[in-house]
A and B are shown apart, each in its own frame.
Chain A
């Protein structure tokens, strides 16, 4: 995202057309210099109150022993330095092991969900790129999961994944893929991972589709015309025209999909409720549960900070990679 804001811009309005700028004695700022600051002030106030300050408090909390005894009077909680971090990163201990396994589950989940959601979105956007009868219907249909409130969509999947009453086992049974007398559980045990991936893709891919579809509208039609005269097959056209044309969109889209998916809380929270299986223990959900079960919020904060550091690290590498590639191109 940062990338797209960095493009060159025209000279500032104020400098270009401010007759006052000449007459104003030096050291005094130009008339109306405060205006942009006044315009961004409301945004800054809310960002500080809801994002930045809680964030700083959260980082501070990770260094104190904030348990249920101190929650009413949290400034009195004892300082423990990196104590919370040591527990979280001690992979021989029970807490550290649980965090590591949750982290690995989240990595697998993110790779599958982002990859497939992007792939589905791309396939649908390309399939609907050219006009044909019925295009509008498919386009509208594919956008519905984006508009359906998240909890309504996820709870419906929860119903579908029920062992004895769900449609998924019904379909699999009629295709003879499972034993209908002994249907598998989907929300308990290792299958929970697959169930969670499917649900997350269902609600995420329309966003990828939306962004890619919007991006395709900016690609010049004539390029395809020329390529097909040169005898390029559809797949080559996609590789050589569509994909490069979507470069800017993809840079932002993949990063956003990654961050949203890695931080996903809603899917396991609604799908599993309290009794989450280890295979469905995504990291945000894990931190939330650990914080509220052990009531050690300092430890929860330390795990959150580690998560944030990881996300910052990955995003930074990604941005460097993107920048280098775009410079080479």
Chain B
């Protein structure tokens, strides 16, 4: 199609304006991480003239960043993997059977998106305490409590998206597998899952990003030893000093794995979205 001058102008203006908007914080984050503390406490400068990589060394000793990092990796990975597995089973059921309570199930799950976090934060905390008192399962300050909380947060969107995705997979494939003698679970594993890979990757990425960035529940459900990055990063601001250069360096460090992972899977993610959620 021919492009009009009007459209070209629109495109240039939009891309330039949004490009600056998106990149400005990233630029500030990276350059400030390469400045000594005195420089970030003075007037802002566009270029790190007293270039140093010291902040990237100091961040590991100012706070126990490495241990927070490990905690975040364990919690986010477990939560997203388990969430996807549970969502696969549930979506398979919703997509392939018309069972009693099917609509009630999908409606309830989706309406949990409406729940304000502050409403069930304290009850959840109290329930976790009660569980540890009666059953002896430690849920506050342990990985387990945070993992089951996060995996539940991502379940609704995951189930909704995968159901859409599975609905698009022709039932003839199921039938063919059945004729070959495959059970329902065998069909899911050998036929559906390979076809649905982009959708599953998309859900996995979404779940991981959500868990990696969650703040509110992490601030209440973790203790010093299980603290995640989302809460731990606040410790760079002490009573005496705000180590802005180290905060920026730590922000770079916690962003890099997610951003790189996301950009590598980007194609899959968009393909999964358009086939699953968007119809």
Contact = CB atoms under 8 A, between A and B. Distances in A.
Contact of A287 (B118, B153, B212, B258): B118
Nearest to A71: B126
Nearest to B174: A13
Contacts of B155: 43, 46-47
Given A202-B25, A288-B118, 8 more contacts: A46-B151, A128-B15, A141-B19, A143-B266, A144-B22, A156-B28, A265-B215, A288-B121
A148 B10 contact: no
B123 interface: yes
B96 A12 contact: yes
B136 interface: no
A69 to B, nearest CB: 15
B119 A55 contact: yes
A170 interface: yes
Interface string B236-263: 0000000010011011001100110111
15 contacts: A2-B107, A4-B160, A10-B171, A33-B99, A40-B90, A40-B94, A42-B86, A46-B152, A55-B115, A149-B258, A150-B230, A152-B255, A160-B25, A217-B274, A304-B116
Main secondary structure of the interface of B (DSSP, over half): helix
Interface of B: 1-4, 6-7, 10-11, 14-15, 18-19, 21-26, 28-29, 32, 40-44, 86-87, 89-90, 92-94, 96-99, 102-103, 105-110, 112-124, 126-127, 148-149, 151-153, 155, 159-160, 163-164, 167, 171, 174-175, 178, 184, 209, 212-213, 215-216, 229-230, 233, 244, 247-248, 250-251, 254-255, 258-259, 261-263, 266, 269-270, 273-274, 277-279
A144 B26 contact: yes
A9 to B, nearest CB: 7
A39 interface: yes
Interface string A143-159: 11111111111011101
A311 B230 contact: no
Nearest to B175: A17
B106 A308 contact: no
B72 to A, nearest CB: 9
Contacts of B22: 141-142, 144-145, 202, 206
Contacts, number: 298
Contact of A165 (B26, B44, B110, B178): B44
A263 interface: yes
B262 A143 contact: yes
B148 A50 contact: yes
Interface string A103-133: 0000000000000000010011001101010
A266 B122 contact: no
Contacts of B110: 1-2, 5
B119 A148 contact: no
A54 B99 contact: no
Nearest to B6: A234
A42 B248 CA distance: 40
Chain A interface size, as a band, is 35 or more
Contacts of A128: 15
A170 B95 CA distance: 55
Contacts of A175: none
Q: Among B23, B215, B251, B278, which residue has the most Cβ atoms of chain A within 10 A?
A: B278
A309 B75 CA distance: 32
Given A47-B152, A284-B118, A151 B43 contact: no
B35 to A, nearest CB: 11
A11 to B, nearest CB: 8
B255 A311 contact: no
B44 A166 contact: yes
A63 interface: no
A14 B183 CA distance: 12
Interface stretch (A20-28, A84-92, A248-256, A320-328): A248-256
A13 B43 CA distance: 68
A44 B99 CA distance: 15
B116 A248 contact: no
Contacts of A164: 43
A148 B116 contact: no
A301 B215 contact: no
A152 B251 CA distance: 5
Contacts of B229: 149, 151
Interface stretch (A93-101, A188-196, A207-215): A207-215
B258 A148 contact: yes
Contacts of B4: 233-234
A243 interface: no
Nearest to A199: B25
B7 to A, nearest CB: 4
B101 to A, nearest CB: 8
Contacts of A2: 106-107, 110
Given A127-B10, A165-B42, A9 B263 contact: no
Contact of A54 (B11, B120, B178): B120
A259 B11 contact: no
A124 B259 contact: no
Contacts of A249: 277-278
